[in-house]
Structure 1
Amino acid sequence: MLYTLKEVLTEAQKGKYAVGAFNITNPICLPPLLRAAESQRSPLIINVAEVSFRDVDLMNFYPAIIHSAKEASVPIVVNLDHGTTEKGIMMALRCGFSSIMFDATAYSYEENIRLTSRYSSMLHHVGVSLEGELGVIGGLEGTEDVDGTDVGLYTDVSTVKHFVDETQVDALAVSIGNVHGFYKGEPNLQFDLLKEIASVTSVPLVLHGGSGISDDDFRKAASLGICKINFYTGASVSVFNHLDAKMKELNGKYTDMANIGWTIMDAYQQTIEERMHVFGSSGKA
């Protein structure tokens, strides 16, 4: 069932759990995501980052994602992650995405509001949800190792209510010490800041840069208002670890390419199911 982000996160907010947003970078990623969601009876957010458009034929591949989402027996959101250009956003809409995450944090606060508001009006008119971002999340989208000191710019609590009121976003990505990529040091989430943010807005909150954060911190974040967690780098590392073990097991006897494909898909599904359990979304669909 294809759902909007607003529909899925409204339920997560009521139940004090978070829904995982997991990336698709190529066709092999789709089956394990769907199997994990069905197996765990969990809602699922399929993330497609705008930066990945350069690596895939969007118009030919993504109709299959939309079709699969509609045929699933659990709620599936198909979300453009870190959309930064009008071209990318319009392409996602033409493909049938049900949610757009628009990232205007490279601009001033005032310009962030202006641009986000513009897309908010347009997207809501066609029944598509919008996630905005306030504060600058450290690291770079698609990078691997990130210094634990690179926390970006924390979300300013004093601007949250104004930003949400002006833009009418359906979800808000916040910066509370989380970073994109994989932490070199120990993550240090500012839970007091998260509490303050949650106290001034009723909009569901989003945590980007989830890889490397402990299970306990994930659970605590969900209990304090985080309703969506982006998780990519950690899943990639897990898949590579499983693949490395499989290659060692084969010991040079590479006779069937399917072995590699199944190893990747099984590892991705296992990792996603584990995250769904930790985030609290298992059994919620």
Structure 2
Amino acid sequence: MPLTTTGELVTRAAAARSAVASFNVITLEHVEAVIAGAESVHAPVVLQVSENAVKFRGGQLLPLARAAVAAAERAAVPVALHLDHVQSDALLYQAAEAGFSSVMYDAARLPYAQNLATTRAAVDWAHAQGLWIEAELGQIGGKNGRPPLDAHAPGARTDPDEARAFVADSGVDALAVAIGSAHAMTTRTATLDHALLKRLSAALDVPLVLHGSSGVPDDELTAAVAGGIAKVNIGTALNIALTGAIRDFLAERPEAVDPRGYLTVAREAMTRAVARALRTLGAF
């Protein structure tokens, strides 16, 4: 079916007090697994490509983006494309032409005033191109090998009053909030601050996004969606499934050299991980 837009999926989820899942993809096998998993449970889904994934692909956005568009257009469920954690304006400016309907512009590492100014400029450009744009306030941590912030560290949590002002002044369409999750977690041990989430949901009139969801247990995710999270980002969980399947395959077949064998079981493992996540979120 034709590509849908991230904004449409997230707006619909927010109105229904549910969440759309947005999966980070690095390879074509990731793309195929996300779509197959979504089709198996009849759920809409977002494919997201991060700036780090683009760097991995030699700085070239279009090869993976074109593959994702082609796969999405053949999907039996609604699929949108999202460009994730963009810090480079040069990459931001490629989004619309490459088939993305949305961008997460990441200036959260900067002091508040600089975050606001650079995000406002990104929003003005993105909206002129018809793109939906997400930003981040508070530091979720765990990105690029950095450890998660201590819960009491400055900037480790999103302040509701600051968030209200940031959304009003920047014009963003959604806000990723720091409530206790962290990027790149390989264990599901994160505990979310649901009281803070309740305050953020009451303070803001834009959809809220949860990053670092691979480290969040099922019951915590369910509670987060009930508390107002409308977009849930998942990446590491797919990589755990992929890597584990390949390790097991090669351990049992040390003579194997054809990548199609281990990539097949890796894709199947990621497909199951996607379907499981979508069932947990009730993203139907």
Q: TM-score, normalised by structure 1?
A: 0.91
Q: Are positions 1:273 and 2:275 aligned together?
A: yes
Structure 1 residue 225 corresponds to structure 2 residue 214: no
Identity value in percent: 30
Q: How does 1:231-246 map to 2 (within 5 A)?
A: 231-246=234-249
Distance 2:207 2:148 in 1: 28
What are the residue-to-residue correspondences of 1:172-251 with 2, within 5 Å? 172-182=175-185, 186-250=189-253
Q: 1:147 to 1:83 in 2, by over 3 A?
A: closer
**Distance 1:8-1:268 versus aligned 2 partners, 3 A rule:** same
Deviations 1:208-263 (A, max 9, x none): 1112211000000000011111111122112222222222333x242643211101
Structure 1 residues not aligned, in runs of 5+: none
Q: Tell me which of 104, 107, 119 is aligned to 2:107.
A: 104
Residue 56 of structure 2 corresponds to 55
Alpha-carbon distance in 2 for matches of 1:160, 1:100: 19
Conserved 8 A contact 2:25-2:235: no
Structure 1 segments, 4+ long, off by >6 Å, are none
Q: Which string of whole-angstrom CA distances, capped at 9 and with x for unpartnered residues, describes residues 256-284 of structure 1? A: 43211101110111111100111111xx2
Q: Displacement of 1:195 after TM fit?
A: 0.3
3-state secondary structure, aligned to 1:93? coil
Deviates more, 1:69-78 or 1:269-278: 69-78
| SS of equivalent to 2:81 | strand
Q: Secondary structure at the match of 2:96?
A: helix
Q: What is the CA-CA distance between 1:147 and the residue it aligns to? A: 5.8
Shift of residue 54, structure 1, vs aligned partner: 2.0
- Tell me how far apart the structure 2 counterparts of residues 97 and 222 of structure 1 sit (CA, whole Å): 25
Distance 1:256 1:104 in 2: 42
Q: How does 1:155-166 map to 2 (within 5 A)?
A: 155-166=158-169
CA–CA separation in structure 2 for the residues paired with 1:255 and 1:133: 43
Whether the 8 Å contact between 2:104 and 2:134 is mirrored in structure 1 is: yes
**Alpha-carbon shift at residue 96 of structure 1 (Å):** 1.7
Aligned residues: 279
Q: Which residue of 2 aligns with 1:23?
A: 24
Q: Amino acid of the residue matched to residue 56 of structure 2?
A: D
Asked if structure 2 preserves the Cα contact closer than 8 Å seen for 1:146 and 1:184, the reply is: no
Which sits farther off after the overlay, 88-97 or 154-163?
88-97
Measured on the aligned residues, the alpha-carbon RMSD in Å equals 2.0
Q: Which residue of 1 aligns with 2:136?
A: 133
Please say if residues 147 and 185 of structure 1, whose CA atoms lie closer than 8 Å, have aligned partners that are also in contact. no
With normalisation by structure 2, the TM-score equals 0.91
Cα offsets for 1:57-86 (capped at 9, x unmatched): 422332221232233232212111100011
Structure 2 residue identity aligned to 1:268: M
Alignment of 1:32 onto 2:33 = yes
Alpha-carbon distance, 1:116 to partner: 1.3
Residues 244/115 of structure 1: CA separation in 2 closer, same or farther (3 Å cut): same
User: 2:209 aligns to what SS in structure 1?
Assistant: strand
Q: Secondary structure at the residue paired with 2:110?
A: coil
Counterpart-to-counterpart distance in 2, 1:269 and 1:185: 19
Corresponding residue of 2:98: 95
Residue 2 of structure 1 pairs with residue 19 of structure 2: no
State the secondary structure of the residue aligned to 1:130: strand
2-structure distance, mates of 1:54, 1:192: 37
